[in-house]
Chains A and B, each alone.
Chain A
Amino acid sequence: CKDIRHSSDDDLLLPYTKSHGPSHSHRYVR
């Protein structure tokens, strides 16, 4: 495990994020 340099997750590309506005609800169809 020491050989694996873990990513710092600093390039998050998410479609729905709370930090950029109101929380977004997904549409559900049944």
Chain B
Amino acid sequence: DCQPVAHGTVTHETQAASKHSNSPVLESNIFISDITDDSGTHRWVSGHITEVHDPLRSVSVLEPGGPGGCAHNHRELVEVTAKTRKCLVAQNGGYFDTHTGQCLGNIISDGKLVRNSGGIQNAQFGIRKDGTLVFGYLSEDDILDQENPFVQLISGVVWLLRKGEIYINESIQAECDKTQETGNFRHFVDVISARTAVGHDKEGKLILFHVDGQTDVRGMNLWQVAKFLKDQNVMNAINLDGGGSATYVLNGSLASYPSDHCNPSKWRCPRAISTVLCIHERLCQPEDCSGHGRCVEGQCVCQHGWSTPGCANLTCQAECGEHGICTENGCVCDAGWMGLYCSQVCTAGLYGDGCNQTCTCANGGSCDPVHGRCTCPAGFHGDSCEQECPIGFYGLNCKQLCQCQDMCPCDAATGSCNTTYQGERNISLHRAGHCLATQMWREWRQEEEAQAPRPYLSEQSWLVVCSILATSLLASLTGNLIQTCRKCKARRQRADYSYLPLGEINGATERGEMKSGKVLFQ
């Protein structure tokens, strides 16, 4: 809310980094300039302006002494830290606690979040993954953004230039929450001292600034630094640590005049500081060229068989198709395939890996280019199609049974029956003769049957009728026999008699006497 309204909620500026691949990594310039302060006093100041042509690939924020330095509150000479990454130019970076050595602000080093200050509103400089240079104030969300994350980030104090205009007064408002407490901060801005700063120009080149000095005695105040940078066509710039921390190392050697004294104080000594802004040879993408090449000035020089730009893919990766594997030596074809890109089947008669095996298929059998297996034509079988189908079988792989009557042979290829002797079928003459005679008889019989009138009932029908009649007769006889037997049995069981007085039988007298007689009762 301390930001000028004209800028709305946008509290930082972005600029696409330049990518001058053919230019040298950097250009280091020394200046010795006459500076006139507000009181009209002239002073000579000296320092360095360094232009970086490909910031994304050649700028790194380094922890003191190397990775992990901030975690251990380490402090190290810029020269020493610079050697860990072979920095061509290195200068001191962010602020740190001079008592404990603790790194301050936000720090992202080569894509690794070293320190998150939770949205502290001090001037920041960062490079995003896509090469965007960012200057200004950032929220914590900005710092932790994963869509286009920061690969380098460092914190300073005071946004010196914004869009080519001096932005110090706005910075004082933004970076301090109570105006009555800005007294010390105003002094910090106004005092002359050794200073370092980082910015960018219109092309997106990164500009490193360093001026020698000693607080209150030599050097520049931040107004002078901002104006100096503005005159150098710098668009955005932030102030980094200064005073005795201001250090400039060129090709591994100290190239600035430190303001701190040594012990004893006869000499001047560079200060062991915290983070370092390092300009190194362009890094390749990926840095190790995927292990298949060398990084030469930011470009991977790939080993044979590996393709640029990252040496991650084999040159033949897309060309070997489905029938080959891409190797450093080109396509290695599957069995049965040949050619530069494994697009051709083995020529006829050859099979296997590299098509270096010879097919053994006989009788016109075709050869499988992968395994060399023979596919026999109809009528032949065997591993090499060397055998004719056995008698009684025909067709592909001799799996069909001949349907010929009376052992007549069939054609091994088509299965058609041969009723005449086939010499090449290797059948005995006797057997062929039998086949022929039987065949002729069968044909004659068929002709006779075809000419004779067809009976009303067949032989089988008559047989059934006769059987039924015979069974009926037998059943009738059996029934009568059983009935007769039952009658006989009944007569024996009824052995009682009754006597009836008969008047006369066969002409006897009326008074007659009772005489015995029999009457059969049924």
Q: Which of B175, B187, B259 is in CB contact (< 8 Å) with A11? A: B259
User: Is B160 positioned at the interface, with any CB of A under 8 Å from its CB?
Assistant: no
Known: A24-B181, A28-B120, A30-B119. A10 touches B244 (CB 8 A): yes
**B interface SS class:** loop
Please state if A28 and B119 are interface contacts (CB–CB under 8 Å).
yes
Total number of B residues with any Cβ neighbor in A under 8 Å: 47
In the complex, A8→B175 CA distance in Å? 29
Total number of A residues with any Cβ neighbor in B under 8 Å: 24
Please state if A29 and B139 are interface contacts (CB–CB under 8 Å).
yes
Interface residues of B in 157-185 (CB under 8 A from A): 157-158, 174-177, 181, 183-185
Q: Which of A20, A26, A29 is in CB contact (< 8 Å) with B187? A: A20
Q: Which of A7, A17, A20 is in CB contact (< 8 Å) with B272? A: A7
Please state if A5 and B267 are interface contacts (CB–CB under 8 Å).
yes
Closest to B183 in A: A21
Residues of chain B lying within 8 A (CB to CB) of residue A6: 262-263, 269, 272
Interface residues of B in 227-268 (CB under 8 A from A): 241-245, 258-263, 265, 267
Please state if A27 and B175 are interface contacts (CB–CB under 8 Å).
yes
Interface residues of B in 181-196 (CB under 8 A from A): 181, 183-185, 187-188, 191, 193-194
Q: Which of A9, A15, A20, A24 is in CB contact (< 8 Å) with B271? A: A9
Please state if A12 and B118 are interface contacts (CB–CB under 8 Å).
no
In the complex, A8→B141 CA distance in Å? 39
Residues of chain A lying within 8 A (CB to CB) of residue B191: 13
Please state if B263 and A5 are interface contacts (CB–CB under 8 Å).
yes
Please state if A28 and B260 are interface contacts (CB–CB under 8 Å).
no
Residues of chain A lying within 8 A (CB to CB) of residue B177: 25-27
User: Is B215 positioned at the interface, with any CB of A under 8 Å from its CB?
Assistant: yes
Known: A4-B77, A21-B184. A10 touches B262 (CB 8 A): no
Residues of chain B lying within 8 A (CB to CB) of residue A25: 177
Known: A13-B188, A16-B184, A30-B140. A7 touches B269 (CB 8 A): yes
User: Is B384 positioned at the interface, with any CB of A under 8 Å from its CB?
Assistant: no
Please state if A12 and B181 are interface contacts (CB–CB under 8 Å).
no
User: Is B122 positioned at the interface, with any CB of A under 8 Å from its CB?
Assistant: yes
Known: A7-B258, A7-B262, A20-B187. A13 touches B121 (CB 8 A): no
Please state if B122 and A26 are interface contacts (CB–CB under 8 Å).
yes
User: Is B363 positioned at the interface, with any CB of A under 8 Å from its CB?
Assistant: no
User: Is B315 positioned at the interface, with any CB of A under 8 Å from its CB?
Assistant: no
User: Is B95 positioned at the interface, with any CB of A under 8 Å from its CB?
Assistant: yes
Please state if B193 and A13 are interface contacts (CB–CB under 8 Å).
yes
Please state if A29 and B271 are interface contacts (CB–CB under 8 Å).
no
Please state if A29 and B188 are interface contacts (CB–CB under 8 Å).
no
In the complex, A10→B214 CA distance in Å? 10
Residues of chain A lying within 8 A (CB to CB) of residue B140: 29-30
Please state if B194 and A11 are interface contacts (CB–CB under 8 Å).
yes
Please state if B121 and A11 are interface contacts (CB–CB under 8 Å).
no
In the complex, A4→B260 CA distance in Å? 14
Least Cβ–Cβ distance between A15 and chain B, in angstroms: 4
Least Cβ–Cβ distance between A17 and chain B, in angstroms: 6
Please state if B269 and A11 are interface contacts (CB–CB under 8 Å).
no
Known: A27-B177, A28-B120, A30-B140. A5 touches B262 (CB 8 A): yes
In the complex, A7→B176 CA distance in Å? 31
Please state if A30 and B271 are interface contacts (CB–CB under 8 Å).
no
| 17 further A-B pairs in the complex, CB-CB below 8 A; given A24-B176, A26-B121 | A6-B263, A6-B269, A7-B260, A7-B262, A7-B271, A8-B260, A11-B215, A11-B260, A13-B191, A13-B193, A13-B243, A15-B95, A17-B184, A21-B184, A29-B119, A30-B139, A30-B141
Please list the 8 inter-chain residue pairs (A to B) with the smallest Cβ-Cβ separation, ordered nearest first.
A13-B243, A11-B244, A7-B260, A5-B262, A7-B271, A27-B121, A11-B259, A7-B269
Question: What would be 9 A-B contacts, judged by CB atoms less than 8 Å apart?
Answer: A7-B261, A8-B269, A9-B271, A11-B260, A12-B215, A13-B191, A15-B185, A27-B175, A30-B140
